[in-house]
């Protein structure tokens, strides 16, 4: 399966202070192919420079370059215009665009955002890859 990384998964995989860092890094290590795009990368830069992470411009750029150098990374050029997103409210426009981009390219959107995963327009595209599948019940 091929994945497009949401901002929150990029953050989790890159910064050791993120609560999901170990799991996100291990997951990225386990996949053959993953994609980033300009929106996800710019969101990573914006949040990394904020008080939440307090990274410098240089640290943020170096960290992003290391992600690009990982085996399996592919940069996905955004070829979806603003009219292709599913109908949504103003707070979900970026998420809806990422869903449209992933769908266009036959990708899943790897996200930690439970609210996004629950949106009907994200069904079948947005998934939290860090959640392990439930084990089937044991028969008796």
CA dihedral 21, 34, 84, 111 (to 10 degrees): -20
Residue 138 confidence (pLDDT)? 41
Quick check: pTM over 0.85? Answer: yes
CA gap 118, 62 in Å, rounded: 34
Counting every residue, how long is the chain?
Answer: 140
Asked whether the beta carbons of 38 and 45 are under 8 A apart, the reply is no
Residue 64 confidence (pLDDT)? 96
Asked whether the beta carbons of 107 and 4 are under 8 A apart, the reply is yes
Q: What is the pLDDT along the chain (140 residues), one digit of tens a residue?
A: 899 999 999 999 999 999 999 999 999 999 999 999 999 999 999 999 999 999 999 999 999 999 999 999 999 999 988 877 777 777 788 999 999 999 999 999 999 999 999 999 999 999 999 996 543 444 43
> Structural domain boundaries of the chain?
3-127
Q: Tell me yes or no: is domain 3-127 CATH 3.40.50.1010.
A: yes
């Amino acid at each position: 399966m091929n994945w497009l990384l949401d901002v929150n998964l990029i953050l989790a995989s890159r910064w050791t202070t993120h609560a999901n860092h170990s799991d996100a890094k291990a997951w990225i290590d386990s996949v053959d192919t993953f994609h980033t795009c300009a929106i996800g990368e710019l969101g990573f830069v914006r949040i990394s420079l904020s008080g939440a992470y307090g990274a410098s411009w240089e640290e943020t750029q170096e960290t992003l370059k290391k992600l690009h150098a990982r085996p399996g990374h592919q940069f996905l050029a955004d070829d979806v215009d603003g009219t292709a997103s599913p109908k949504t409210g103003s707070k979900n426009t970026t998420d809806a665009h990422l869903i449209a981009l992933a769908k266009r390219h036959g990708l899943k959107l790897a996200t930690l955002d439970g609210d996004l995963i629950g949106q009907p327009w994200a069904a079948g595209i947005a998934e939290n890859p860090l959640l392990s599948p439930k084990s089937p019940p044991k028969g008796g």
